[in-house]
Structure 1
Amino acid sequence: MNEITATLTRLLPIAALVVSGWWLARRKIIASELSKPLCDLAFLLLIPAYLFPKLYGSDLGRLFDLTAIGAYAAVAITGMVIVATLCLRRAELGPADTALRMMAACQVNTAYFAIPVFVQLFGDATPIFPILILQVCLLTVVVLTVLEFARTDHETHRHPAVTVTRSVGAALATPVVVACVAAIVANLASWPVPESVLSGLSFAGDAASPVALIALGLHLGGSTLRLRGATPDENAVIVFKCAILPSMVYGVTEYVVRVDDPWPAYLTVLAAMPTPQNVFVLAGRYNVGLDFAGSVVVKTTVVALVLLPVWTLLMT
């Protein structure tokens, strides 16, 4: 009973901030449209500011556990293959629709959701960083490449190498990846970074979690959940993302691959995070599955909030 109370107490600030943003949007005190600039503020400035000093001061040998990262990568890639195989059985779903569903089912909201969750539950968000880099540099590149090829088919016949290069460049140029790579290089090279710079970045980075959670709440407040009329693949993606993927990660890290504690707990809770908002961003950018993407992002966020205490208690 004490563990349940302690877990719920740690998760309460996260739920409170999301609900506050939702209530402010619903009451029209703050326009839900402001979620976009707030998300941009968090993604372009606050989260990179949080990541750099944390990674710079980390023990990279402990943080980059290759066995744990490899196990998670194997599960995520397997999940994407499963989703792609199921999508290919439906003739009405083209390559772009399939790529969007692969991303929605197997990638997680690290920046806006996982960081505050890990800070509250484990007191440390650094275990997220290797998976964040894996997700952006590998999984997102696969999705972007498929989307770029699909767009090429409808626009111009671009050389495949150009398409892949464009996809890789788009993934690696994100501020989060730039901050992570810069911190890792500075850490490995033992380059001195002035304490005033690190403290200034930490000061700005401390605002990342509350700003991201309130922005998420504003987004939810301005969204309309379609409980009826949801497509079968939409419901299947939600179930896969919120229940099957974390179960697969738990099974592999506990019973298949020898992963040292506390990595099974870290990876299972991380896999239980909702679909990233980037799915909605990419859907708009490539003009494919916009309603599907918006609905899945909202619904997986709600379901993840409900199931998070269950996954947390299972791993403690």
Structure 2
Amino acid sequence: MNGVAGTVIQLVPIAVLVVAGWWLAHRKIIAAEVSKPLCDLTFLLLIPAFLFPELYASDLRQLFDIQAIATYAGVSLTGMVIVGGLCRRFTNVGAAGTALRMMAACQINTAYFAIPVFVQLFDDAAPVLPVLVLQVCCQTVLVLIILELAENHRTAGRHPAVSVARSVTAALTTPVVIACAAAIACNIMSLTVPETVLSGLSFAGEAASPVALIALGLHLGGSTLRLRGATPDENAIIVVKCVIFPLMVFGLAEYVLPISDPWPAYLTMLAAMPTPQNVFVLAGRYGGDLDFAGSVVVKTTFVALLLLPVWTTIVM
């Protein structure tokens, strides 16, 4: 019980900030729409400011454990393919709907959820960074390509090659990727970054976790939690994201492959994070199922919060 109680106590600040944001939006003290500029601020400025000094000062060989990251990548990409195949076989959601369900089932909320959780539980968000880079540069690119090709087919617009190039460019030119690439380059080449720059970025980056959690709460406060009328595929995606995916990662990392500690715990906790808000953003941008996307983001966030003590007890 001490371990469970200790974990719950560590997670209290995270829950308090999310609930505070939800309450402010629910009581209409702060409009739920404010979550959008706060999310933009976090993603475009605060998270890159947080990532650069973290990566710059890290031991890249230890941080980018090839076997651990390859294991996570293999499970997540395999999961996306399986979910995509099942969607095509048993649903009529189309290519865009399938891509969004692949993303919802096997991608995680890194910037707005995983980083605060890892800071609180492990006092270190560095293990999140390789998975964040993997998602942006690989998984999100795959989803964007499918969405762009589906949009191109629907509108008979640009050439498919142009759509693919646009998708790759959009993913690889985000501030998060640029910050990571710059930090890794400076680290590898042993370039000296002035201390004033690093301290300034760290100062701004310290605000990333609380702002992200409050923004997430505001978003949840403006969403309607639909308990009835949920479609079977929606419920299935929630189970896959919150239970099956982390179990697959844990089983493979802990019992099948010789992955050294503490990476099995890190990878399992990462897999247990909720569906990213980008699913909802992309659903709106590409004319997808907004009701499905919003519901999955909200429900996986609540379920992930409830299950975090369980996963922590299992892996630690």
Using structure 1 for the length normalisation, give the TM-score: 0.98
State the AA in 1 paired with 2:207: A
User: Which residue of 1 is the match for residue 49 of structure 2?
Assistant: 49
State the AA in 2 paired with 1:262: P
Whether 1:202 aligns to 2:206 is: no
Q: Give the aligned CA root-mean-square deviation in angstroms.
A: 0.9
The equivalences for 1:6-45 within 5 A come to: 6-45=6-45
Query: 1:13: how far off?
Result: 0.4
Off by >3 Å, runs of 4+ in structure 1: none
The equivalences for 1:88-237 within 5 A come to: 88-90=88-90, 92-237=92-237
User: Which residue of 2 is the match for residue 248 of structure 1?
Assistant: 248
State the AA in 2 paired with 1:199: S
Alpha-carbon displacement from aligned partner over 1:205-261 (angstroms, at most 9, x marks no partner): 000000000010111111111100001000000000000000000011012211110
Q: Secondary structure at the match of 2:90?
A: coil
Query: Measured at CA, do residues 92 and 23 of structure 1 come closer, stay the same or move farther in structure 2, by a change above 3 Å?
Result: same
User: Which residue of 2 is the match for residue 58 of structure 1?
Assistant: 58
How high is the sequence identity, in percent, across the aligned residues? 71
- Taking the aligned partners of 1:294 and 1:7, their CA distance within structure 2 comes to 28
- Taking the aligned partners of 2:279 and 2:177, their CA distance within structure 1 comes to 17
- Taking the aligned partners of 2:236 and 2:307, their CA distance within structure 1 comes to 17
- Taking the aligned partners of 1:176 and 1:49, their CA distance within structure 2 comes to 9
Q: Secondary structure at the match of 1:89?
A: helix
Query: 1:160: how far off?
Result: 2.8
State the AA in 2 paired with 1:253: A
State the AA in 2 paired with 1:14: I
Kept in 1, the 8 Å contact 2:56–2:187? The answer is yes
- Taking the aligned partners of 1:52 and 1:36, their CA distance within structure 2 comes to 23
User: Which residue of 2 is the match for residue 271 of structure 1?
Assistant: 271
Query: 1:161: how far off?
Result: 2.3
Alpha-carbon displacement from aligned partner over 1:74-101 (angstroms, at most 9, x marks no partner): 1001101110111011352211110000
- Taking the aligned partners of 1:257 and 1:148, their CA distance within structure 2 comes to 36
- Taking the aligned partners of 2:91 and 2:205, their CA distance within structure 1 comes to 46
Q: Secondary structure at the match of 1:85?
A: helix
- Taking the aligned partners of 2:151 and 2:136, their CA distance within structure 1 comes to 20
Query: 1:157: how far off?
Result: 4.7
State the AA in 1 paired with 2:287: N
Query: 1:27: how far off?
Result: 1.3
- Taking the aligned partners of 1:226 and 1:29, their CA distance within structure 2 comes to 23
State the AA in 1 paired with 2:88: L
Using structure 2 for the length normalisation, give the TM-score: 0.98
- In structure 2, stretches of 5+ residues that fail to align are none
The equivalences for 1:56-95 within 5 A come to: 56-90=56-90, 92-95=92-95
Query: 1:156: how far off?
Result: 2.7
Query: Measured at CA, do residues 259 and 148 of structure 1 come closer, stay the same or move farther in structure 2, by a change above 3 Å?
Result: same
Q: Secondary structure at the match of 2:149?
A: helix
Kept in 1, the 8 Å contact 2:152–2:160? The answer is no
Alpha-carbon displacement from aligned partner over 1:27-75 (angstroms, at most 9, x marks no partner): 1111111111111111111110000000000000100000000000010
- Taking the aligned partners of 1:260 and 1:283, their CA distance within structure 2 comes to 38
- Taking the aligned partners of 1:74 and 1:20, their CA distance within structure 2 comes to 37
- Taking the aligned partners of 2:236 and 2:33, their CA distance within structure 1 comes to 29
Query: 1:25: how far off?
Result: 1.0
Query: 1:313: how far off?
Result: 0.7
State the AA in 1 paired with 2:46: L
- Taking the aligned partners of 1:288 and 1:157, their CA distance within structure 2 comes to 18
- Taking the aligned partners of 2:93 and 2:116, their CA distance within structure 1 comes to 35
- Taking the aligned partners of 1:44 and 1:27, their CA distance within structure 2 comes to 28
Q: For this pair of structures, how many residues does the alignment match?
A: 316
- Taking the aligned partners of 2:65 and 2:162, their CA distance within structure 1 comes to 33
Kept in 1, the 8 Å contact 2:110–2:132? The answer is yes
